[in-house]
Structure 1
Amino acid sequence: MQPGLSNPLDLKNEIFDTIVLAKVIEHLKNLRATVREWFGLLKPSRLLSF
């Protein structure tokens, strides 16, 4: 876990089964681009939970 959404994380070589977010959406400046980036970090059997 890393707070602070203004600095992107270096996760290009990472793949996750699940991404769980809590109290994040209202703080995003570009929701569409951010969600697209999250989906790119997930395995094909992905789960993204808000």
Structure 2
Amino acid sequence: MSQEQLGDRLEIDQSHVSKIERASIGISMDMLCDIAKELGVEPYLLLKPKD
């Protein structure tokens, strides 16, 4: 899924999605859960550090 598609589903701008992805900004737990729902994963999986 592209950043633009995710932004459309979450009703936020693609640039905001990009900032979230790069960890340039923080997000609420509600937003984390919304993102996880749209991606079809459990929220905790989005919190795992990169290998």
TM range (shorter): 0.3 to 0.5
Length-normalised TM-score, structure 1: 0.34
Length-normalised TM-score, structure 2: 0.33
| Higher helix proportion | 2
| Higher RCO (C-alpha 8 Å, min separation 6) | 1
| Higher strand proportion | 1
